[in-house]
Amino acid sequence: MLGLIADLNACQGYANCVIAAPDTYDIDDDGLVVLLRARIPGEDRARVEEAARSCPVSALTIEER
Ligand code: SF4
């Protein structure tokens, strides 16, 4: 299982992550990323990792849990 961490001090609201994985990332009214789920099942792993890598300010961290 993968765990997600979002650095809200780094997030600039570019929404690359939302476009790449809208079931996992969203943007709140302040323009900051919201994690819609904290744990990612294996079948979604590649897509969610790619979405995290697409963040221009590296605000998203993925770790094994
Ligand atoms: S891509 Fe990065 S900067 Fe943009 S909303 Fe997602 S976490 Fe924030």
Q: Encode pLDDT of 6-64 as tens digits.
A: 999 999 999 999 999 999 999 999 999 999 997 898 899 999 999 999 999 999 999 98
**Residue 65 pLDDT:** 80
Determine which residue's CA is closest to atom 1 belonging to ligand 1. Answer: 55
> Separation of 19 CA from ligand 1 center, angstroms?
10
pTM: 0.92
Rounded to whole angstroms, the Cα distance separating 8 from 25 reads 13
Which domains, from first to last, does the chain contain? Answer: 2-64 (3.30.70.20)
CA–centroid distance, residue 39 to ligand 1 (Å)? 18
Give the Å distance between the CA of 37 and the centre of ligand 1.
Answer: 15
